[in-house]
Structure 1
Amino acid sequence: MITFPNAKINLGLNIVEKRPDGYHNLETVFYPVPIEDALEVNVLNESGRKFRLHQAGLEIEGEAENNLVVKAYKLLDAQFDLPPVEIHLFKHIPSGAGLGGGSSDAAYMLKLLNEKFCLKLTEETLEEYAARLGADCAFFIRNTPTYAEGIGNLFSPIRLSLKGYRIVLVKPDLFVSTREAFSQIRPHRQETPLREVIERPIEEWKKLMTNDFEESVFPQFPAIGEIKEKLYRQGAIYAAMSGSGSSVFGLFRPEDDALPEDIIWGERAFVYQGILK
């Protein structure tokens, strides 16, 4: 059985306050993007093993035991004593990009196991399991536009459709430390709450919607900020960094043509152009 975990972008990301536990409360909007990994699970006919993980595509650092798809399997296995599985994971979503690739893989693994082994878990229960694996994992269970609060784990559905809009997403060959990005954040509340901004016409987002991480990341990595400016020069109606970086996306009107292929985004940059659903 095979499935295709997709990425997400953050439409706005505001760090509103620091919590007593050291974490930060934020507000953001998650929107699904059709950049996809491929995930396949089959029953493993091999004695003495509970799982075998095969990885291909973009390189994934770390041991198999620490991969979120394996953690998702172990989470359900502890509850339902699942058969041993052979997992094939092809990575196309860049890691460390603010696109939620690992979280999506984990959520889709839960959904795939639920279907394959007829566990009959509801979406609500799957969200509870997903939340144990990461703050934004639960978003990918329903995988619809969502307003997120708390540490990115409290979800509310929103009415938002960008269907037909073109997206250009660029992930330069740069690594941004999320911990370092948070350390330089100054929590504050925007004059216009994000939930209100997202209801305005997209043409107004440029002036009203921000990603607070840009303030700390762009001075350290000017090339990331330059990508955002280049997207605006090419006609984007809204552009921003996703999450804490390092990917940057631009939204273009449905009638706009794709960007010229001769644009230089940086050596070894990952570039995606597509149409939102």
Structure 2
Amino acid sequence: MVTFPNAKINIGLYITEKRADGFHNLESCFYPVGWCDILEILPADELSFKSTGLPIPGNPDSNLCLKAYHLLKQDFDIPPVTIHLHKVVPIGAGMGGGSADCAFTIKTLNELFGLGLTVVQMENYARRLGSDCAFFIQNQPQYCFGKGDEFADITIDLTGKFILLVNPNIHISTAEAYSGVKPQKNEIDLREVLKEPVQTWKNVVKNDFETHLLPKYPRIENIKNKLYELGASYASMTGSGSTVFGIFEEAIEAQKHFEEYAVWEGKL
């Protein structure tokens, strides 16, 4: 079975407090986008995992796809599988690529072996593997809070608009991103603000990580400024970076402006 785990963007990201367990509480809108990996899972005589495409750092045995398999294996008598992940979405880019791979593994195993898991049950498995993994089970726009693993409906529809994602090949670790954050209460109601036209978001909807990461990495700020120069209605860094996205009313020819970077553009 072949699936296409897709990335997401954060529209607004507010770090509201440090938790007793060491994590942070946040508020954000997670929105799925079409930049995808390719994931193939097939029954096999023995468990195996391989990856192609972009190199994935770390030990392959600790890949989230394998962790998802082992997690379900604890509760279900599922046979061995072969997992082939073709990595396309940049790694450490603030788009949840690894989390999507994990969630799609859970969904695929559920379908492949008829496990009968509900959406809620799959989300609960995903939460055990990473803070934003659970989002990709439903894979639809959500207001996210808690650690980024609790969801509520949100009124937002960008259908028909165009998005441009630019990754400047800068890897920002989660530890580095959070080390410069000063948690504070969000002063806006994000769910209400995002009901307004996209053009009104520019000076209102913010990503708290930008405050300290943009001065440290001028390339990220330059990309954001360039997206506005090209006519973006709204532009922002997504997640803890370093990818920047712009939302446009019309398609643009982006490659010539960002030739040295990884770029994806499409219709929302």
TM-score range, shorter chain: over 0.9
The answer for unaligned runs of 5 or more in structure 1 is none
Check conservation: 1:98, 1:243, Cα contact below 8 A. yes
Q: Which ranges of 4 or more aligned residues in structure 1 deviate by more than 4 Å? A: none
Is 1:275 the equivalent of 2:258?
A: no
What SS class does the counterpart of residue 206 from structure 1 fall into?
A: coil
How far residue 219 of structure 1 moved from its aligned partner, in angstroms, is 1.1
How far residue 244 of structure 1 moved from its aligned partner, in angstroms, is 0.5
How far residue 257 of structure 1 moved from its aligned partner, in angstroms, is 3.2
Work out which of the residue numbers 150, 153, 157 in structure 2 matches 1:154.
150
How far residue 235 of structure 1 moved from its aligned partner, in angstroms, is 0.1
CA–CA distance in structure 2, aligned partners of residues 259 and 165 of structure 1: 15
Instruction: Give TM-score, length-normalised by structure 2.
Output: 0.97
CA–CA distance in structure 1, aligned partners of residues 124 and 258 of structure 2: 43
The answer for unaligned runs of 5 or more in structure 2 is none
The farther-off stretch of 76-85 and 16-25 is 16-25
Instruction: Give TM-score, length-normalised by structure 1.
Output: 0.94
1:167-186 maps to which residues of 2 (within 5 A)?
167-186=163-182
Amino acid at match of 1:97: A
Amino acid at match of 2:251: D
CA–CA distance in structure 1, aligned partners of residues 4 and 254 of structure 2: 28
Check conservation: 1:234, 1:259, Cα contact below 8 A. no
CA–CA distance in structure 1, aligned partners of residues 253 and 204 of structure 2: 25
CA–CA distance in structure 2, aligned partners of residues 159 and 199 of structure 1: 6
Aligned to 1:264: 258
CA–CA distance in structure 2, aligned partners of residues 18 and 78 of structure 1: 32
How far residue 264 of structure 1 moved from its aligned partner, in angstroms, is 3.5
Aligned to 1:36: 36
Deviations 1:54-73 (A, max 9, x none): 21111111112210000000
Aligned to 1:214: 210
Deviations 1:63-86 (A, max 9, x none): 122100000000111111210111
Q: Would the alpha carbon gap of residues 261 and 101 (structure 1) be closer, same or farther in structure 2, given more than 3 Å must change?
A: closer
Aligned to 1:223: 219
Check conservation: 1:29, 1:145, Cα contact below 8 A. yes
Q: How many residues were matched structurally?
A: 268
CA–CA distance in structure 1, aligned partners of residues 86 and 74 of structure 2: 25
Is 1:240 the equivalent of 2:208?
A: no
How far residue 191 of structure 1 moved from its aligned partner, in angstroms, is 2.7
Amino acid at match of 2:263: V
Aligned to 1:105: 101
RMSD: 1.2
Deviations 1:247-269 (A, max 9, x none): 0000001xx2323532135x3x2
